[in-house]
Structure formats: C-alpha cells, structure tokens
Structure 1
C-alpha cells in the first residue's frame, strides 16, 4: 500500500474529486486546507496603495491510501488535472504504508482501505 499526497491549487480540487470518483474505486480521501511556500515565494499585492507580500499561500492537501498497482495511474491523473506549467502547481508525494486498520471492524491491509 502507498500513500499519495498531492498539494494542489484550491481551484483544482472539485475537478480532481470528480475525476477520481469517475475513474477509480477510491474508497476515501482526506482533504486539508494548508498554507505553504516553495519556488513561488509568495505574492505581492497592493492594498490601498501599500505593498503587501504574502509568503504563505493557501493550498489544498489531498491524500489517499491506495494499492501499489494504482499509484502510477492516480499520479498521472493528478498531473493531468493539476499541471498548468506555472509556478505554484504543487507537489505530489508517494510514501509506503506498512499497515492499515479499520477501527470500526478491525480489518487490516487491503480490506481496511
């Protein structure tokens, strides 16, 4: 099992959710509003003539635990939807999951996800 985490732009969330529901048997996802900075280095805005530099920008962190064989397909889907070619598109992280346990039933492994 793998955990796929994607930090994406806010406006891409609904399209990503719709596409995942349509194309996969995903049983669940976790969505978190986050703030972060990277290569984008923030935004410069002017409010009432005063320069404001925002260094932490709002993003969405979407995470799933999936079977190993689904990882490449899900990553490709995230890239297809969220990649604009501009700075600030986000990042995808893939990490190994040793065990998954459903609290309600005690199921483990594949059955728990």
Structure 2
C-alpha cells in the first residue's frame, strides 16, 4: 500500500476530487495548506505598498492506495492538474506498512 500526498492549487482541487470519485481508494483526506514550490514568493501591490506573499494557498489531498492501483490514480491526478505552467503541484508517494 502507498500513501500519496498531492499538493495542488485551490482551483484544481475540485477537479482532482471529481476525477478520483470512482477510483478504488482505501482512504482520502483534504486539507487547506499554505506553501510554495519553485515559484518561491512573489510581490503584490496593496494600497501603493509592495509586500511579499511568501506562502501561497494550496490544497493537500492525501490518499491511501493499493500498490496495484497506484499508477492509474497518479495518471488521473496528472491528467486533470497538468497545465504546463509553474505551480501545477506536487505528488509524493510513500510506502505504508499497514492501514488499521
């Protein structure tokens, strides 16, 4: 069994959840998180003052998937989230010894 931790932009989270609606998963959790990847921070303007938004809003979707279904689930996630632009998200795969 594997644990997938997927971090995506908020506007892509609903697409991921819809794509996984019929996927055979052992479990799923969704969290609102903040962070950054390669884009680091960016500057924004607020009332004539520049300020840095270091942490961008993201959604973390954690899934537990049987090893035999792992590739198919990853393909579904990549299919709905890949735009080719920076900030599409990350998928991390970790082994799970047991799920109780």
Task: Say whether the fold is shared (TM-score over 0.5).
Answer: yes
Greater Cα radius of gyration, structure 1 or 2: 1
Q: Could you tell me which residue of structure 2 aligns to residue 30 of structure 1? A: 29
Distance 1:32 1:61 in 2: 5
SS at match of 1:80: helix
Unpaired runs of 5+ in structure 2?
A: none
Q: How far does the alpha carbon of each residue in 1:8-49 deviate from its partner, in whole angstroms, 9 at most, with x for none?
A: 010011111111114x13353100111112211122110111
SS at match of 1:29: strand
TM-score under structure 1 length normalisation: 0.83
CA contact (8 A) 2:31 2:60 kept: yes
Q: Could you tell me which residue of structure 2 aligns to residue 95 of structure 1? A: 94
TM-score under structure 2 length normalisation: 0.93
Q: Could you tell me which residue of structure 2 aligns to residue 66 of structure 1? A: 65
Instruction: Report the number of matched residues.
Output: 100
- Moved >6 Å (runs of 4+): none
Q: 1:28 to 1:99 in 2, by over 3 A?
A: closer
Q: Could you tell me which residue of structure 1 aligns to residue 6 of structure 2? A: 6
Unpaired runs of 5+ in structure 1?
A: 102-113
Specify which structure has the higher proportion of strand: 2
Higher relative contact order (CA 8 A, sep 6+): 2
